[in-house]
Amino acid sequence: MAGKFEVYEDAAGKFRFRLKASNGEVVASGQGYASKASAKKGCESVLKAADGAPIVEVEKAD
């Protein structure tokens, strides 16, 4: 099974997304959005940005 995006409403009433790996582990999460539609667009933005993105090594984390 592939990973999946989940869109949910947090305790503050904001909509967020999280990306879960096939084992259920959360591997990424998004900011709070005012609407569910905006959170879904955030998912789409991640998909688009990740398509073909290079993997780069860095000396130190920023």
The predicted model gives 9-23 an average pLDDT of 97
Q: How much is the pTM?
A: 0.82
pLDDT of residue 62: 64
pLDDT at position 61 is 72
DSSP 19-38: EE-TTS-EEEE---BSSHHH
Q: What is the pLDDT of residues 36-61, one digit of tens each?
A: 999 999 999 999 999 999 999 999 87
pLDDT value at position 60?
Answer: 86
Q: Please check whether residue 4 is in contact with residue 46, taking contact to mean a CB–CB distance below 8 angstroms.
A: no
Domains of the chain in start order, with CATH, are 4-50 (3.30.160.160)
